[in-house]
Structure 1
């Protein structure tokens, strides 16, 4: 299709260069001479009268206009790529790449086994994992996010994974040194450890709200296993997932009639009519692996 944009391949060249971060790498991926790609991209910029790429050191990077064009075009390019891929094969081979963002403890508790099975069973599968607690949002049709926070995911598919129930825990050593709280008010006097920066806590008694209070943690670590180990060493008290505390018999649950608000975990991805086979299979495996969590 020829227009002011030129052949649609020119737009695909632009997206590939931006995605690969290098004209050389894009040329290798597309099996085209660098000179040909450079000439076609320059012609595209001339037709549009806008600079899309600029040199940064020895690499080509997107200008602000180029980045906007990439964000607008990439999803459509992926759909075209997928459509042609489905035409030339019946999707009998599970292959491709998934970019996955999740908290550390998600990977350790139930995702790692799924990843390892895919790596062992499907040589054509590739993963790019980011383990962190920062809020992320799927940007392309190859992105997955595992998270407790879907406040900014209204336009995404968010499938429930499990419920996480939290109680207040301390070690026997800590309680010997600092005493055991008998009331919610006494919790203010204790040394808190926390897994995130959410310090305003709602306590429930059964299904009813009992009290809201504010904690001031001595330490914040974005890894629940690290928090559990620090609590076990007597360095403070913390809200811990009850399902994980079974592995630590020296931990004592405080005020067991109270619990923190239940947290719902989700797996999130972009809504599309035809999902790649890899994504569909991986999501189903994660849902199955997560079904045993949340006690």
Structure 2
């Protein structure tokens, strides 16, 4: 039977690309390290590394087992840390979130979370692109929309829909569209999503779906910039209600085409299954759900 030390040596060898380097780092003699790796391979009845005189690389079976080995060590470390902490919430989380909702909604709440749990450290990444949680150094991602990857755990935080918004200044100068078709006559503020430029705006009224291809003189890879352009009176934007709720409440923006229902953009907290037992992650999920629950989020008929 292999030991925890065998798993640690295997992972470190894969990371360093060298059994001898891994042995030195773990303060093992080469013979002991070699015996450890052979013991693991014998128990699994498979070769984990393809060896030559000059290189050591993972086999397909080794690559598969490496991910499970990492998960096992992560869970053991989390359990050990929890026992030592006597139930105290502490630890480090690396978070990725869309720029707009991240800065305007989540950031103040994350600051409050750290004030509540002062032994928690957070590393924040603001990006509108989809992060691969299995390869990127990210523990948790906040994502709009329905989750396509069934290998991840998705925890719903808040319902939301896209709403068409513009500033009172823009509308005074250019008029107010009353149907989605009239958006083609206006300067629409565009941003890029994972599949490219977001210039097909979708609505429905009753059972009828409407797709309007829009255009404009401004495009960005940061959706928060499109919101700022709209506030500045430079055009019309199609944003998640969560992104613009404060601007609507304070009159910087107003909604248009209120008789048409925009695309659903529910906000979810997404993470790999290996992170699901983390006490600090569970504390963050509960904290944010309470914050979102306190928001006065409109029902579908009021969006």
Q: Is 2:203 aligned against 1:213?
A: no
User: What is the correspondence of 1:1-295 to structure 2 with a 5 Å cutoff?
Assistant: 1-2=1-2, 7-15=3-11, 34=25, 36=27, 39=30, 48=47, 50=49, 68-85=64-81, 88-89=83-84, 91-139=86-134, 143-195=139-191, 196=193, 197-205=197-205, 207-240=206-239, 241=241, 243-247=245-249, 249-271=251-273, 275-293=277-295, 294-295=297-298
State the superposition RMSD in angstroms.
Answer: 3.9
Contact 1:91 1:277 in 2 (8 A): no
Count the aligned residue pairs: 276
> CA–CA distance in 2 between the matches of 1:238 and 1:92?
46
Aligned-partner SS, 1:164? coil
Change (3 A) 1:190 1:62: farther
Change (3 A) 1:93 1:170: closer
> CA–CA distance in 1 between the matches of 2:276 and 2:266?
27
TM-score (norm 1): 0.73
How far 1:132 sits from its partner (Å)?
1.0
TM-score (norm 2): 0.72
Change (3 A) 1:117 1:186: closer
How far 1:266 sits from its partner (Å)?
1.0
